[in-house]
Amino acid sequence: MRNLTAVKAALATQRIETPSWAYGNSGTRFKVFGQPGVPRNPREKIADAAQVHQFTGVAPSVAVHIPWDQVDDYAALAAFAADLGVALGTVNANVFQDDDYRLGSVANPDPRVRRKALDHLLECVDIMDATGSRDLKLWFADGTNYPGQDDIRARQDRLAGALAAVYQRLGPDQRMVLEYKLFEPSFYTMDVPDWGTSLLHCLALGPKAAVIVDTGHHAPGTNIEFIVAVLLRAGRLGGFDFNSRFYADDDLMAGAADPFQLCRIMHAVGSGGARAPEAGVAFMLDQCHNIEPKIPGQIRSVLNVQEATAKALLVDREALAAAQLAGDVLGANAVLMDAYDTDVRPLLAQVRGDMGLDPDPVAAYARSGYAEKIIAERVGGTPAGWGS
């Protein structure tokens, strides 16, 4: 697809969802470094997310996490967001921060604990009814730390039972998207450790269940674009949690550690005809800005996804297909590398200009004075964080 008009139109209609928790304090087990001006409540997080959309034009929704974003009136919160030009997006359940969940939530041996976890998942669907969100995102910390600790198959049965109960509760336009993770916080088994396990559960549930690929949740060296291609072929790629990592689930800025991988992933998305918002694949960021300023970090991350997407869109697919079918190994690789090696920043600056935006969102945000404003205003109260 080298038709530049079509490429620019595709870039202008891109939709990248930012996570509310990226605007709050976050860290590691060693330290959570507080930062000045950090939001203290869901409305301030949404106001910060609206800044990212204001300067990039392609981040019109913000994912919420319950109870980190708990409020009395979710419809009012959605209206507040709409007034700022963003929508409440994916609803993330949280059954990983309560003492009851030490041995798991929906896979816990104790039926009382499983019931408690299921009730939270069902409450999250009620919240989706109020916010108008399409997706319920489920990530489970559930697993075991030692061989023999629990029965692997029995835990799968318990998980399947809870997922089926939630699936029954979904409305006609709602989906549940199941995220997998190889390890952490459980270190011998995770009950949803990989794409295959997530896919099996989704296929068992029905068409409103799909797989979430968090780019930080694989073993080192995993070919993520292969997983993307296979899930798209099965019609079960629900979306992405984009971030990057050097070693584990580092939750660093998307594209920061491996921009080529992000480009290869977006190429696989394009090959599967799933780039456009209508295809139903959710493109989300799931990151923690432990040491860097959060709003600029989100803006930079959105730009990194845009750049990876632009490079993937510049792949000469006709030439690529011809080289592939001719068995021209180097020729085919060169077509893709030619696109990847293209500096797409001028093209994206043009796209932003056409959208009435400053060509350099990072600089424009810095000039806006918003950072200084929130530091001056947000004095007192408790900075938002992971709440554990």
Q: Identify which of residues 288 and 344 has a Cβ nearer to ligand LRH in the complex.
A: 288
Q: How far is the CB of 263 from Mn ion (least distance, A)?
A: 20
- Name the binder of 48 from ligand LRH, Mn ion, none, CB < 5-8 A by kind: none
Q: Identify which of residues 21 and 55 has a Cβ nearer to ligand LRH in the complex.
A: 21
Among 48, 191, 214, 225, binds Mn ion (CB under 5 A): 214
Q: Identify which of residues 10 and 266 has a Cβ nearer to Mn ion in the complex.
A: 266
In the shown chain, the binding pattern of residues 279 to 308 toward Mn ion, with x for contact by CB under 5 A and - for none, equals -------x----------------------
Please give the residue ranges that form the binding site for ligand LRH (CB under 6 A): 21, 92, 139, 179, 181, 214, 241, 249, 286
Q: How far is the CB of 144 from ligand LRH (least distance, A)?
A: 17
Q: Identify which of residues 359 and 385 has a Cβ nearer to ligand LRH in the complex.
A: 385
C-alpha–C-alpha distance, residues 117 and 131, integer Å? 21
**Position of minimal CB gap to ligand LRH:** 139
Q: Identify which of residues 21 and 74 has a Cβ nearer to ligand LRH in the complex.
A: 21
Q: How far is the CB of 379 from Mn ion (least distance, A)?
A: 32
Q: How far is the CB of 139 from ligand LRH (least distance, A)?
A: 4
Q: Identify which of residues 96 and 188 has a Cβ nearer to Mn ion in the complex.
A: 96
**Position of minimal CB gap to Mn ion:** 241
Nearest alpha-carbon partner for 177 in 205, 216, 153: 205
Q: How far is the CB of 137 from Mn ion (least distance, A)?
A: 8
Q: How far is the CB of 235 from Mn ion (least distance, A)?
A: 22
- Name the binder of 307 from Mn ion, ligand LRH, none, CB < 5-8 A by kind: none
- Name the binder of 155 from Mn ion, ligand LRH, none, CB < 5-8 A by kind: none
Q: How far is the CB of 249 from ligand LRH (least distance, A)?
A: 5
Q: How far is the CB of 260 from Mn ion (least distance, A)?
A: 21
The 3-class SS string of the chain reads CCCHHHHHHHHHCCCCEEEHHHHCCCECCCCECCCCCCCCCHHHHHHHHHHHHHHHCCCCEEEEECCCCCCCCHHHHHHHHHHCCCEEEEEECCCCCCHHHCCCCCCCCCHHHHHHHHHHHHHHHHHHHHHCCCEEEEECCCEECCCCCCCHHHHHHHHHHHHHHHHHHCCCCCEEEEECCCCCCCCCEECCCCHHHHHHHHHHHCCCEEEEEECCCCCCCCCHHHHHHHHHHCCCEEEEEECECCCCCCCECCCCCCHHHHHHHHHHHHHCCCCCHHHCCEEEECCCCCCCCHHHHHHHHHHHHHHHHHHHHCCCHHHHHHHHHCCCHHHHHHHHHHHHCCCCHHHHHHHHHHCCCCCCHHHHHHHHCHHHHHHHHCCCCCCCCCCC
Q: Identify which of residues 93 and 314 has a Cβ nearer to Mn ion in the complex.
A: 93
Q: Identify which of residues 44 and 69 has a Cβ nearer to ligand LRH in the complex.
A: 69
Q: Identify which of residues 18 and 271 has a Cβ nearer to ligand LRH in the complex.
A: 18
Q: How far is the CB of 236 from ligand LRH (least distance, A)?
A: 18
249 binds Mn ion (CB under 5 A): no
**How many angstroms separate the Cα of 293 from the Cα of each of 48, 105, 129, 283, 342?**
12, 34, 33, 22, 29
C-alpha–C-alpha distance, residues 203 and 286, integer Å? 25
- Name the binder of 17 from ligand LRH, Mn ion, none, CB < 5-8 A by kind: none
Residues that bind Mn ion (CB under 5 A): 214, 241, 286
